[in-house]
Each structure stands twice: as C-alpha cells, then as structure tokens.
C-alpha cells in the first residue's frame, strides 16, 4: 500500500515537472470553497415605513425601530417607466414588494412616515393594510420652508 502511494506521488511529480500545465477546471490542489453560513433573521414585530412620494417617483423603505433598513423598493425597480412611476397603482405594487421582502422578519405593526406631495401617498397606506400590515401611526414629514426662496422678479411684457 505504501509502495502504491509512492508510485502515485512520483508519477504526479514527474507529470508536473515535464512541463505539463494544469487545466483551469482541475481543482486538485485548490482549497475547497467554504459555504456561507446563513444568518438567522431576527424577529422585528414593530418597524417603520418611510414613503417618499414625489411627482416623478415613489420610494418606500422599511426599517426596524432603530433605523436599520430591512427592505426597500421603488417604482423604477418594480418595472414602471416614465409617468407611470408616480401613479397610485405603482405605489400599491411597491408596497406589495416591500411586504414580501419583510415577511421573513415578521413585520406586523408599523409607524408610517410620509414625505412629499405625490399621487402615491394615500394609496400606499391603503395597500399596507391590504397586505396585512397594521398601521399604528401616520406622520407627515414633508419639509416646509419657513420663508423659502426669493420669489422671481415681476414679469414685464
């Protein structure tokens, strides 16, 4: 048995020394790749949902109570293009995508923060309730200027 191993080793070294190159598919001496350990998803029963509804797009982000992002989606990433991105239908589809992504976390109750004046504001909240997510509170965090920009000068015709 020991003789067989010696013969095998000698033949291997002779083959390598004779100028033969290893093929790319040959993984004889390569280390085995380690498989990634899947982290156990933490349970997040209460979280926050941020809805940014602009004239051109709607972006929805789901976070835990600290602010770590669990999932997000937008009208563009959901396949809507052009003026369809700012529609109420697109907002309901986006909420559906976010609800599917947060399902492993067990997100049930949310605090909703809305920013912007787009058409997807109201339909996004209705879609949350349709996807079995309980809305605890709704807060509008749209920025309001306290004096704003200087108005343009009077137009002379």
Q: Confirm whether pTM is higher than 0.75.
A: no
Q: Where are the alpha helices (DSSP H) in the chain?
A: 2-17, 88-102, 121-130
Q: Kindly report the length of the chain.
A: 157
Question: Which domains does the chain possess?
Answer: 46-140 (3.30.420.80)
- Cβ pair 96, 61 in contact under 8 A: no
Model confidence pLDDT, tens digit, residues 40-86: 778 999 999 999 999 999 999 999 999 999 999 999 999 999 999 99
pLDDT tens by residue, 113-150: 999 999 999 999 999 999 999 999 999 999 998 998 89
Element (H, E) at 50: strand 46-53
């Amino acid at each position: 048995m020991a003789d067989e191993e010696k013969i095998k080793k000698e033949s291997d070294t002779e083959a390598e020394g004779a100028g033969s190159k290893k093929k790319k598919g040959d993984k004889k001496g390569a280390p085995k790749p380690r498989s990634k350990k899947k982290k156990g998803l933490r349970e997040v029963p209460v979280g926050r949902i941020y809805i940014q509804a602009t004239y051109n797009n709607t972006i929805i982000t789901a976070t835990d109570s600290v602010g770590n992002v669990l999932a997000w989606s937008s009208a563009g990433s959901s396949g809507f293009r052009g003026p369809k991105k700012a529609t109420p239908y697109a907002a309901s589809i986006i909420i559906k995508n976010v609800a599917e992504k947060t399902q492993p976390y067990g997100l049930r109750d949310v605090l909703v923060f809305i920013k912007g004046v787009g058409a997807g504001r109201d339909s996004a909240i209705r879609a949350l309730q349709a996807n079995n997510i309980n809305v605890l509170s709704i807060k509008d965090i749209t920025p309001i200027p306290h004096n704003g920009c200087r108005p343009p000068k009077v137009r002379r015709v």
